[in-house]
Chain A
Amino acid sequence: MNPFIQIITQPDNIAIVIMIIMVTFFTGWAFQQAFDNDKLLAAGRPVDGENDKFIDTFKPLVRIELLIAIVVMVGLTVWSIAVDAPLEEIANPTITPNPAKAPWYFLGLQELLVYFDPWLAGVVLPSLIVVGLLAIPYIDINPKGNGYYTFAERKYAIIIFSFGFLVLWLLLIVIGVFFRGPGWLWYWPWQEWDHARVVFEPTRDLTSVIGIDSRSLPGFLIGAFVVGSYLAGGMIAPYRYWKKNNPELLSQLGMVRYITIMFLFITMMSIPIKMVLRLVFLIKYIWITPWFNV
């Protein structure tokens, strides 16, 4: 069978295909409604739902809840009749499958292991995702766009969140499920998995590019300087820009909010930056310390 068909019809991967279809559909629907409302807002007309009347819960709401429950139940029943949940061989600690994959919703984090050490990819970054999600309502002080779809009124919030959710979370999951084979090497869906394949891809550290041993003291200092200036620059540069161009925004945000937002944003952007460094420039570590490597 065509490996592509084979991989997307694997029982557990059907869920990922369903997820892709649903997320694409609902993302489209959300943005379509956002743009529709933006037009209404530009024309000074009420947005969708603004002139809602109250209606009885019984029966209109109860009816639609029952209908949705039936549709979902029928869908899951058909899925369960059509596709059997796989059961692999009995657990055997002496036989390691290659690749050994985490549950699918954590594959984005497993994918990060290519670019970060486990303490960052598996612990610090997931914790910061949760912290960041919890912080959203308190750091987003834009009062507009409350209770209706809109893009124009909250461009930055939507762009940043969509990038994090759709690209850094979901796209990395899809890559982990469909494009990663033995040795966590990249396989196109139409390529057969080759367990003997070895890719010799010499990686280097940032300072070795300019000929300095990354484990030497100068290498350590340069690495510390680069990481430090990324963090400091990410904090200071937007501050100075806004101070000059939009001081009102800064004073509304306040120092605590500003630092939280920029810290979370800098951390998030370090993921695509490290991906580019690793994939394009073959750079593994920026900073080597005796305790951890970044």
Chain B
Amino acid sequence: MKSLPEISEKVRKNLIWKSIFRRDYRNSIRDRAQAVFGNVFLHLHPVQVRESAVKLRFTWGMGGITFFAFILLVITGVVLMFYYHPSIDQAYTDIKDLEFQVPFGVILRNLHRWGAHFMVIVVMIHMFRVFMTGSYKAPRQFNWGIGVFLLVLTFLLSFTGYLTPWDQLGFWAITVGTNMGAATPLLGYQGPFSEYLHITPYNDIRFALLGGAQVGGNALLRSYIWHCVAIPLISIILMFVHFWRVRKDGGISKPQK
């Protein structure tokens, strides 16, 4: 019988272990740095950060929590996609199946629903924190703008997801929401001046959003693709820029006087 340190020593000498971790971690300055820049996920961080980055009271961790919520929603969302057809004949019964047939289907859907509400809340609080610390000021003006777009995309992600269960709540929330589009000046058929462009309910901006003059099968397909593919892709690209710029603009903002 070998002792635990012996086993651990043997594992760390193992060819497979070494191929993954490359070098021993002995808690030297070099090892701590290597742990960050040698890891594709951790190398988002600088090797060293200012103390405030570790204290909750400055950042409240809100940006990171938003990102975590996004990852959780991508994972639960992908699993939900296995059980879902974006057609008005099947969408509703698919959600019922989640409730009664799919193992852990209820908690899967709950996590996605409450995670989405949570992400909208924390992203707004993140913006509030960045404003209150004046962190949008030079040199971070551009990144604040990226953040504003990410905030809007978060709303749109949640909004497009509303329709997917094809129940009364989603149907009428989307109807109310897209009816606003009909009021767009020039481009919506109820908006001011639209008659000069010969805009009707069949060629206005609302028609483009819904793929029809009212919420129906096309609207469900469009919202599904915006929700699962298009907006996440745009968001991920903007997140790359957002995180990159946090680093390039000097990390967590520090008092500049």
Which A residues lie at the B interface, using CB under 8 A?
12, 15, 18-19, 22-23, 26-27, 29-30, 33-34, 46-50, 52-62, 64-65, 68-69, 72-73, 76-77, 79-81, 83-93, 95-97, 100-106, 109-110, 117-119, 121-124, 130, 133-134, 136-138, 140, 143-150, 154, 158, 161, 165, 170, 291-292
Contact = CB atoms under 8 A, between A and B. Distances in A.
A103 B256 contact: no
Contacts of A27: 128
Nearest to B41: A62
A29 B53 CA distance: 17
A147 B140 CA distance: 10
| Main SS class of interface, A | helix
Q: Which of B33, B48, B175 has the most CB of A within 10 A?
A: B48
Nearest to A144: B257
A105 B158 contact: yes
Contacts of A95: 168
24 contacts: A12-B169, A22-B121, A22-B125, A27-B128, A48-B58, A52-B52, A53-B50, A53-B51, A56-B32, A57-B36, A57-B47, A76-B118, A80-B107, A85-B109, A89-B167, A91-B166, A93-B214, A109-B180, A122-B180, A123-B184, A134-B144, A138-B141, A140-B137, A144-B257
Interface residues of B, number: 100
A100 B215 CA distance: 14
Interface in B109-166: 109-115, 117-118, 120-122, 124-125, 127-129, 131-138, 140-141, 144-145, 148, 151-152, 155, 158-159, 162, 165-166
Given A22-B122, A26-B125, A143-B138, 7 more contacts: A26-B60, A29-B60, A62-B45, A101-B176, A103-B158, A110-B176, A147-B137
Contacts of A19: 121
A85 B110 contact: yes
Interface string B39-66: 0001001111111111011101100110
A87 B95 contact: yes
Contacts of B214: 93
Nearest to A148: B255
A80 B176 contact: no
Interface of B: 29, 32-33, 35-36, 42, 45-54, 56-58, 60-61, 64-65, 68-69, 72, 88, 92, 95-96, 99, 106-107, 109-115, 117-118, 120-122, 124-125, 127-129, 131-138, 140-141, 144-145, 148, 151-152, 155, 158-159, 162, 165-173, 175-177, 179-185, 188, 190-193, 214-215, 253-257
B255 A49 contact: yes
| Main SS class of interface, B | helix
Contacts of A96: 172
Nearest to A110: B176
Contact of B173 (A48, A92, A102): A102
Contacts of B182: 118
A138 B144 CA distance: 11
A53 B49 CA distance: 8
Nearest to A47: B255
B172 A100 contact: yes
Contacts of A12: 117, 169
B192 A137 contact: no
Contact of B185 (A29, A65, A123): A123
Nearest to B48: A54
B105 to A, nearest CB: 11
A146 B256 contact: yes
Nearest to B196: A291
Q: Which of A110, A146, A161 has the most CB of B within 10 A?
A: A146
Contacts of B144: 134, 136-137
Closest 10 CB pairs of A and B: A122-B180, A137-B141, A118-B183, A80-B110, A91-B171, A15-B117, A85-B113, A147-B253, A292-B192, A145-B134
B183 A55 contact: no
A161 B151 CA distance: 16
B197 to A, nearest CB: 13
Given A27-B128, A97-B168, A123 B188 contact: yes
A46 B52 CA distance: 14
Nearest to B112: A85
A145 B133 CA distance: 7
Contacts of A50: 254-255, 257
Contacts of A101: 172-173, 176
Contact of A91 (B42, B49, B88, B141): B88
A76 B72 contact: yes
A39 to B, nearest CB: 15
B97 to A, nearest CB: 11
B145 A137 contact: yes
